[in-house]
Structure 1
Amino acid sequence: MPKSLLEQLSDIVANGRKQAERILESLETRQRVRLQTREVVLPARDSAAQDWVMAQKRAAHQEVFAPGQASLLGSAQATLGAAPGGDAPWMNRLIYGDNLLAMAALLAGDEHTPSLRGKVDLIYIDPPFDSKADYRTKVTLPGVELEQRPTVIEQFAYSDTWADGTASYLAMITPRLILMRELLADTGSIYVHLDWHVGHYVKLVMDEVFGRENFQNELIWKRTSARSDSETYNHIHDVIFFFSKSENLHFETQYGEYESSYLETAYRNIEEGTGRRYTLSDLMAAGVRNGSSGMPWRGIDPNLRGNHWKFQIARLDELDAAGRIAWPKKEGGIPRYKRYLDEMKGIPLQSIWSDINPVASQSMERIDYSTQKPSALLERVIASSCPASGVVADFNGGSGTTAAVAEKLGRRWITSDIGKPACMIMRKRMIDQESKPFYYQAIGDYQVEAAKTHFGKRDFRIGDLSQIVLSLYGALPLPPEANPQRNLGQITGVDLGGRRGSKTLVLADSPNKLTGAATLKKAIAQRDNLLGGWDRVVVLGWNFEPSIGETITALNDDRLEVLVIPPDLLDRLRKKGNSVEKLRGQVRFSSLQYLTLHPIEHTVRGSEETLTVRLKNYVLLSPEAINLDDANRAKLQAVANAEPLALIEYWAVDPDYDGQVFRSVWQDYRGNAANDADPLRVVTQAVLTVPAKHGPRRVCVRVVDVFGFEAEVATTVEVR
């Protein structure tokens, strides 16, 4: 007979602890997980109102944050404040990727970015908790609405989480809760937002991880009004479990408004002259005291009544002189304390929250994200449990409400999500809010980390991953003497021209590097010389240099093909029941997406230079790589053919690209009313006024399409 969930729980927690301990042990090794900064975002909603102070001070005040990566500078640093526990400037962060790896990277830190272990004041998470949810994404293009099924990497936190029901969910969340505890400051707290599906089980896990003694509250949020669509009682509330890391938690009581009926009865007294409402409360409390508060005052001995004064005698005199004591008209009556309504903060909030409505369909804050939580909910949580300028983290970022509210309330923030649509929504939301500059980061060497999870850290080698990629592409490995790195394979058969006996060399590049000009030139040389030469060469890459499109065009070699390895490949292998053999023939290696620009126009007037950047064309990553059915794929292809720039969701410009970190100082995105009233298209021209520069200027443009794929192009503007 299989074990019940309660019987499995001890093993689930024990295994979760072991997984978390392995991650914590790896933090001190050279193989620790790192974060790669994909973009430094300087929100600028309107191209006519740029803040160029940061750009002007970049060269003079440069600080290095990570190997080969430069931070924001000058006045920006002053506004952001110092990192917790150190003097390094703080940058808010939006992280794309598995939150387990994101937390490992934050705990590890590096020589330039200190570890955040014990530095986070508040964590709020709203993890997935409905196993039957439909996670399809609707993509609206001009004249067409597509329904995209999520990629496996985006479903990982959902479908795999439920592979064995609630037991799988608990196995997923346990090590993550342990790492969250490591991130929390001793005065920190965590709020975990759930519902009836798994809430009671997660509470048991949190008791083990944080300690039952640190359980503070089970908060009930009434998220919807009464309904009549159930045969029993309708579920109209969520639960939020509130734990602290220790008994020394930071907490500031929040207050709600009084109900009008209460005010009419409790504060019915109105003071003559001032019109102030007040109520009367007791000046005595039960129990005899020997000190000042037990002494007679104004002829009244509280001890004779078995009571004592609530204040010392001197304080009673002060209150009486200030008119704060109401004396009875009848002799022998007991005076009472006068409390004014305008001095009261309100009713201290209790554990049932019925005064916060969900995000309505017509709400101004609605951004069409299915699990969006109202800002008022996060305002309450953050105001209660995060000190001013403290650090708030949300590792299931979703619609970005936590980050948006933290920004509004002056707190520092970190948020992450495994879904590209969620990260795009959050990035747009923070830009629209005109937030302080922030990092958009990804897990460094994500494929390597996923492979380590699949193979086990001790046994994993890069060559193992290359062998899998070659096998899935249909290539046989070359002999070891000609293939020391185990990244070369061969295919013999019929070529594209119908010739039999053709030989194709296949090179699987490393996920540790950017595939660029050096790799392509080496592949061409190997094609022409290795083992007597080959008819053509195919290069399979994970990550690419921004100028890869220009490089391929410049090489002009029709016997060279460059393809993209599916970014979710390792997640597909990890999925229960999958294997290399099962996936062979099912994995599609796609052509590169790329962006082209019109020649950049620039004029110099005195100390300023004006740049006009215009988008020319965007070629989508092969539609075959997008999880669409045939009908939706045909619709997509029609839009791509007719209006390719309509596929762009977001684009940004760095007018001084250093070749390492993209700093976006101008952005536009679909729905940005500040630049364009068309919600389904971006503007295709950016006009930037920047400080004039002596010598060539490297301008880089990045686009993100509606499916989350990114492309960049960098071009040099020569000074005339």
Structure 2
Amino acid sequence: MAKQDKKAYDLSEAEQRDLVTLIQQGKALPEKYRFILFEDKREVELVWNGKTRDVCTTVLPFQTLEHVDEPRAETKTQGDLFDPRGRQVRGWTNKLIWGDNKLILSSLKSGALRRQIEDAGGLKLIYIDPPFDVGADFSMDVEIGGETFHKEANLLEQIAYRDTWGRGADSFISMIYERLILMRDLMAEDGSIYVHCDWRLASLVRIALDEVFGKGGDNEAPGFRNEIIWYFSQGGKGVKHWARKHNTILYYSKTDSPIFNQDAVRLPFTPHKQDEKGENYGGRMGVDEDGRRYVEKWGTGKKKLYRYYLDEGKLPEDVWTDIQSIQSAATERMDYPTQKPEALLERIIKASSKEGDLVADFFVGSGTTAAVAEKLGRKWIATDLGKFGIHTTRKRLIGVQREKKAAEQDFRAFEVLNLGRYERQAYLNVGGRLSGEQKAQALTQKENEFRDLILRAYKATEFGGTEGTQAQDGFFHGARNGRLVVIGPINLPVGRLFVEEVITECRKRGASRVDVLAFEFEMGLFPAVLEEARGKGIDLAPKYIPAEVFDKRAIDKGQVVFHDISFVEATPRYDKKNKFAVTIELTDFSVYYTQGAAEAAIAAMKEGKSEVMCEQGQLYKVSKNKEGIVTKARLTKHWTDWVDYWAVDFDYMSRREIIKVPVGTGLSGVASLLGIEPPQDELITQEFEERWTGGYIFENEWQSFRTRQNRDLELATAVHTYDRPGRYTVAVKVIDIFGNDTMTLVPVNIG
């Protein structure tokens, strides 16, 4: 009798009848029948609602926003890696990527960057500290005007929090499980992963890791290797429970032979008993023929005598008590709520990677993993969903570059990337086997539906619905508060030609007020075109479409906020003695942010308390006294209070932004076109074609920014000297205290 038939015989007649009834009714079978009816060798499994081993297979090109390295002309080392202007010209460039790490991981795994990863030796180490309490992870305290402004998570971050915790623990496990599978597939064969947990979900995360990597348990098996207890003396107060004074770090490997450099992380011996010289050691003391002192101890398991030399130290155990959490006065402190100490990452990176290896952190937060990797001579990839986290990491890594440059030590440039407009293209992707005409019709319908979604988010009245939008008006998409509304191209920046068309169409209709909504505007477009529109009697208001429009729940709740564009004014100052030299001065910056429901926040404020709030581009300290009287004191006294960081590219249009897209009709090319995962053995052999996006990469040649220790900001660059006369375009980027960036273009004439 077949094994399957025998298992069926193990059921009683009543159980068989119950099974037939449940199947006919389309109901779920009790879990016990799974092990009775089917072969399943797993002793323990983590099960949750909606569990699947399917993972994201979307592959998108990365948009290069910025290239960052300190100018290298005066540096004596690494001359073959950098050109005279200071640009890295060969080898691996580190990656700082903003966006959803699910899309980032799938695009790294099967996209053009995978070949770069393999050429760099493969991904040897992953450390992640996933958001177990996202509300705390994404909120920030921002210092301004001598006061502290508490920046809540932006809506995109709140959406991520909702997706992660909104349905309870199962939604978190579902989120991390998919990402763990993608991380495993991206890792080198001798790679390792360390997952940082606290008491909330450590047990569930360990079972998920067991499923993805294996249970391990000894040196011959892949998977689990250690449960590390990181004990810290600060914090952890208990009221109705024992004080929580540790985190858990789960260490797993992809195969049974991961990189592990025990000699790189040895510690001094711990005292146990006193020898004749008053020193404390456990074991028999001795001195070898070279005069080196040692301790001999019996090992566990098979009886074997081990010799430990005192000048070598010993391998740390899996309980780490010698690394403290970050103190309030520590120089490495970034005021980021979930920041971990550099010493913790230093031990992990030294143990599980070698100099020149590639390490990654896909929940990078304040950038500790990237900073320590850079200091230790490792290559790195760092990603985060929070824009402020990316900005904090950018500043931190520039600081590391400056330190290494001053010490004449090697370092690499890094790029700031995102999926940007390509993520929007994926949202509008039309799949299936369709003719050219059918695909065009389906794409038009999807674009119209997306525009309707944007209009709903903007609380605008659309012109006749999806069909009527085109038929009734022909150009404008809706109206709001007596103003016409037009939505710019979804996959392209709004440029001068589009704005001129808006002005022309307004004059045809006798309209004088219009809102232009766009994901991107061409740099240098404003304020010139606004003045041109005003000269023709048109009040034109450009507004950014936020990424939150991709979330229908946020739209339904009316939470999406469209911001006015910020304005940057920068002025070139020419050197009277050197006609090839110029200085760029930042002369103005204006923003129009409003925090949200300020009235509701004031009403909810307790008497005797105060808060800092943002309204119409200004920050106010709002106080409520014991009698309930509310007073407001403006904190932003000058436009410079809004500037956290600014940087300059002195020859902006000298480096085109190139993306790589799959080509050919091989299996990988077909898989990419169909939106499915290419065969694993073809991931590296897939051919890619280079294409210019029409944009340029911002090369960060000079920057000034505020740090926790130094709040000063330089408002003029160092003198920049050009090699030859000509007309150049200087790009100036400003990042405000909330992490939002604005760019403007400044023409300069040299010679």
Q: Same fold (TM over 0.5)?
A: yes
Q: Supply the distance in 1 between the matched residues of 2:430 and 2:713 (Cα, whole angstroms).
A: 40
Contact in 1 for aligned 2:464/2:472 (Cα 8 Å)? no
By how many angstroms is 1:570 displaced?
2.7
| Closer/same/farther in 2, CA of residues 565 and 572 from structure 1, 3 Å limit | farther
Q: 1:438 aligns with which of 414, 420, 433?
A: 414
Deviations 1:250-293 (A, max 9, x none): 2222422102445534588676998753446799x999xxxxxx
- 1:656 maps to 651
- 2:571 maps to 598
Contact in 2 for aligned 1:563/1:589 (Cα 8 Å)? no
Q: 1:347 aligns with which of 314, 322, 335?
A: 314
Q: Supply the distance in 2 between the matched residues of 1:277 and 1:51 (Cα, whole angstroms).
A: 40
By how many angstroms is 1:340 displaced?
5.2
By how many angstroms is 1:617 displaced?
0.8
SS in 1 for 2:338: coil
Question: How well do the aligned residues superpose, as a CA RMSD in angstroms?
Answer: 4.2
- 1:230 maps to 239
Contact in 2 for aligned 1:515/1:543 (Cα 8 Å)? yes
Mapped pair 1:199 → 2:210? no
Q: Supply the distance in 2 between the matched residues of 1:443 and 1:171 (Cα, whole angstroms).
A: 23
- 1:540 maps to 517
Structure 2, gaps ≥5 residues long: 1-26, 33-43, 217-222, 274-278, 402-410, 434-438, 603-611, 621-632, 654-694
Contact in 2 for aligned 1:467/1:487 (Cα 8 Å)? no
| Closer/same/farther in 2, CA of residues 692 and 640 from structure 1, 3 Å limit | farther
- 1:667 maps to 703
SS in 2 for 1:441: strand
SS in 2 for 1:563: strand
Mapped pair 1:98 → 2:91? no
The one-letter code of the counterpart of 2:523 is P
Mapped pair 1:395 → 2:362? yes
Deviations 1:492-528 (A, max 9, x none): 6874xxxxxxxx5421113311122122112223333
Mapped pair 1:475 → 2:506? no
Contact in 1 for aligned 2:137/2:337 (Cα 8 Å)? no
| Closer/same/farther in 2, CA of residues 354 and 339 from structure 1, 3 Å limit | closer
Q: Supply the distance in 2 between the matched residues of 1:105 and 1:486 (Cα, whole angstroms).
A: 40
- 2:496 maps to 517
By how many angstroms is 1:553 displaced?
4.1
Q: Supply the distance in 2 between the matched residues of 1:391 and 1:397 (Cα, whole angstroms).
A: 15
Deviations 1:382-412 (A, max 9, x none): 1111233111010110111100111111110
The one-letter code of the counterpart of 1:215 is F
The one-letter code of the counterpart of 2:700 is S
Q: Supply the distance in 2 between the matched residues of 1:286 and 1:209 (Cα, whole angstroms).
A: 32
Contact in 2 for aligned 1:219/1:352 (Cα 8 Å)? yes
Residue correspondence of structure 1 range 626-637 to structure 2 within 5 A: 629=601, 632-634=613-615, 636=619
Residue correspondence of structure 1 range 674-693 to structure 2 within 5 A: 679-693=710-724
By how many angstroms is 1:224 displaced?
3.0
Q: Supply the distance in 2 between the matched residues of 1:267 and 1:251 (Cα, whole angstroms).
A: 26
Q: 1:570 aligns with which of 549, 559, 571?
A: 549
Q: Supply the distance in 2 between the matched residues of 1:492 and 1:252 (Cα, whole angstroms).
A: 64
**TM-score under structure 2 normalisation?**
0.72
SS in 1 for 2:249: strand
By how many angstroms is 1:415 displaced?
0.5
By how many angstroms is 1:537 displaced?
3.1
Contact in 1 for aligned 2:585/2:716 (Cα 8 Å)? yes
SS in 1 for 2:161: coil
| Closer/same/farther in 2, CA of residues 668 and 394 from structure 1, 3 Å limit | same
Deviations 1:127-170 (A, max 9, x none): 11137747532221123332222211123333431101111111
| Closer/same/farther in 2, CA of residues 492 and 594 from structure 1, 3 Å limit | closer
SS in 1 for 2:322: coil
SS in 2 for 1:347: coil
| Closer/same/farther in 2, CA of residues 627 and 443 from structure 1, 3 Å limit | farther
Contact in 1 for aligned 2:645/2:703 (Cα 8 Å)? yes
By how many angstroms is 1:657 displaced?
0.6
Q: Supply the distance in 2 between the matched residues of 1:107 and 1:709 (Cα, whole angstroms).
A: 29
Larger RCO (CA within 8 A; separation ≥ 6) = 1
SS in 1 for 2:194: strand
- 2:22 maps to none
- 2:47 maps to 10
SS in 2 for 1:146: strand
By how many angstroms is 1:475 displaced?
2.9
Q: 1:425 aligns with which of 386, 392, 401?
A: 392
Q: Supply the distance in 2 between the matched residues of 1:144 and 1:454 (Cα, whole angstroms).
A: 50
SS in 1 for 2:211: helix
- 1:620 maps to 591
By how many angstroms is 1:534 displaced?
3.9
- 2:147 maps to 144
Q: 1:701 aligns with which of 702, 711, 732?
A: 732
| Closer/same/farther in 2, CA of residues 226 and 613 from structure 1, 3 Å limit | closer
Q: Supply the distance in 2 between the matched residues of 1:626 and 1:712 (Cα, whole angstroms).
A: 29
Contact in 1 for aligned 2:92/2:116 (Cα 8 Å)? no
Contact in 2 for aligned 1:122/1:393 (Cα 8 Å)? yes
Contact in 2 for aligned 1:150/1:627 (Cα 8 Å)? no
| Closer/same/farther in 2, CA of residues 456 and 714 from structure 1, 3 Å limit | farther
**TM-score under structure 1 normalisation?**
0.75
Deviations 1:560-594 (A, max 9, x none): 42332442423542x4xx554x42xx544332101
By how many angstroms is 1:642 displaced?
3.2
The one-letter code of the counterpart of 1:483 is Q
Q: Supply the distance in 1 between the matched residues of 2:368 and 2:523 (Cα, whole angstroms).
A: 32
Mapped pair 1:168 → 2:171? yes
SS in 2 for 1:510: coil
Structure 1, gaps ≥5 residues long: 27-31, 60-71, 79-88, 288-309, 311-335, 496-503, 674-678
Contact in 2 for aligned 1:489/1:506 (Cα 8 Å)? yes
| Closer/same/farther in 2, CA of residues 212 and 52 from structure 1, 3 Å limit | closer
Contact in 1 for aligned 2:67/2:415 (Cα 8 Å)? yes
Contact in 2 for aligned 1:374/1:401 (Cα 8 Å)? yes
Q: Supply the distance in 2 between the matched residues of 1:528 and 1:55 (Cα, whole angstroms).
A: 55
- 1:240 maps to 249
- 2:180 maps to 177
By how many angstroms is 1:90 displaced?
1.0
User: Larger C-alpha radius of gyration, 1 or 2?
Assistant: 1
